[in-house]
Amino acid sequence: MCAHRLPAISKTRIIEVGAAIVVVLIIAAIAGVAKVHLLYDGIGGTALWNPNEADFFIEVRHRGQVINSLRFPLFVIKNHLGGVEDLDAERGSLVFIRISATGVKRHVLPLDYTGMYTPLYGQIYANNPDLGGLCRWSGERFVPATPEEKRRLDGINRLTNQDIPESRNGWYKRSFQAAPGDDDNTFTIAEEPSFRISGTDMAAQNGDRLVSIILQRPGRPYEKIWDIRLVSGRVTSKQYQETFGKPR
């Protein structure tokens, strides 16, 4: 019986195989440190108005996740099945807009825990635990309520999270929100003889949403008083850093 000799492997073939292995290892190493940056935006707003003015408090929230490229396919599957992973970053702001006969004023403040915006006694009150509970809008920020105001309003017991669809001492209140995944929508926010304020929530590229607030006065052209692009999904590392102010 004769032994079968294995075919010889040429040096060229060995070099080719070795080079291929090196390339695979390099790609794996790059993938191991490469990251996928995800951004999710959303807003929640409250409109308070009477025949003479309208006040908006709009909470803008950005949420971010950074996923290792090798883990990303598993992350997508887990997310599709309803799994939830912790956020890596979160940032927000409170946009205040006042519309009156003299014009439109805007302020942007850091987002905190203020809520339950309620018009009472010609003022706008809210609840903020960091300010001792009951607080009052000063025109530029919320300030703690005075002891007399806390007594008269029984702390925060007269505040409400609910809309006010029927006039309460001339005031109304409506809440609204928008986020990627919404259907296209145009809706009336506030309407009085001297003005009409509407919102639009429309699809943009890459699954983003374009949200706008439009002011119409009798005999005047439409005026866009605020807009924002809401992002949902994968973004560049630069865009992620610009949103949250820190590298990842």
What is the C-alpha separation between 134 and 149, in angstroms, rounded?
Answer: 8
Q: For 164-218, write each residue's pLDDT tens digit.
A: 999 998 999 999 999 888 899 999 999 999 999 999 999 987 788 999 999 999 9
Spatial CA neighbour of 215 closest among 60, 117, 100:
100
Low pLDDT (below 50) residues in the chain: 6, 17-19, 21-32, 247-248
Query: b/e per residue, 66-97, with b = 16+ CB within 10 A?
Result: ebeeeebeebeeeeeeeeeeeebbeebebbbb
Spatial CA neighbour of 171 closest among 160, 187, 156:
160
Q: For position 248, what pLDDT does the model report?
A: 44
CB 37 within 8 A of CB 88: no
CB 42 within 8 A of CB 53: no
What is the C-alpha separation between 211 and 8, in angstroms, rounded?
Answer: 69
Question: Which DSSP string do the residues of 28-76 spell out, in sequence order?
Answer: HHHHHH-EEEEEEEEEEEEEEEETTEEEEEEEEEEEEEEEETTTHHHHH
The alpha helices in the chain, defined as continuous H runs, are 11-33, 72-80, 147-152, 237-244
Q: For position 23, what pLDDT does the model report?
A: 42
**Distances, alpha carbon 14 to alpha carbons 28, 68, 108, 214, in Å:** 21, 33, 65, 69
Q: For position 93, what pLDDT does the model report?
A: 95
Q: For position 12, what pLDDT does the model report?
A: 61
What is the C-alpha separation between 159 and 156, in angstroms, rounded?
Answer: 5
What is the C-alpha separation between 109 and 205, in angstroms, rounded?
Answer: 29
Q: For position 74, what pLDDT does the model report?
A: 79
Structure tokens at 187: 């809706």
What is the C-alpha separation between 168 and 174, in angstroms, rounded?
Answer: 13
What is the C-alpha separation between 211 and 202, in angstroms, rounded?
Answer: 6
What is the domain partition of the chain in residue ranges?
37-244
What is the C-alpha separation between 14 and 124, in angstroms, rounded?
Answer: 78
What are residue 154's phi and psi, to 5 degrees? 55, 55
Which pTM does this prediction carry? Answer: 0.81
